[in-house]
Amino acid sequence: MIQLTPGGDPEKHIMTSDKNIEVANISEDGQIIKFTVESTAVITHDEHDKIVLEKGTYYKTNQMEFNPFTNTVSYIFD
């Protein structure tokens, strides 16, 4: 089981698979990861419908937003 949003609620964006999923951190904050699905992986969330991923290599990130008062860009977390 992998929590795709580190530090987030334990019922949100949870990925499970019947085979091991190889995960590598791409960003220091852990919000961008690379993972390889060998068979099928399912991402569940208590409020959103699930997503099912087939075999392949994937990258997870979060949507971004601009802050016009600081001219910075940051992740969105729901």
Shortest Å, Cβ 20 to another protein = 18
Q: Convert residues 8-47 into a mask of x (bound to another protein by CB under 8 A) and - (unbound).
A: ----xx------------xx----x-x-----x-xx-x-x
For the four alpha carbons of 53, 34, 47 and 19, in that order, the dihedral sign comes to positive
Of 22 and 61, the one with the shorter C-beta distance to another protein is: 61
Strands 72-75 and 64-67, bridge-based pairing: antiparallel
The dihedral over CA atoms of 60, 63, 66, 67, expressed in degrees to the nearest 10, equals -100
What is the 8-class DSSP label of residue 76?
Answer: -
Q: Is 68 in the site for another protein (CB under 8 A)?
A: yes
Which of residues 19 and 34 has its CB atom nearest to another protein in the complex?
34
Nearest distance in Å: CB 44, another protein: 9
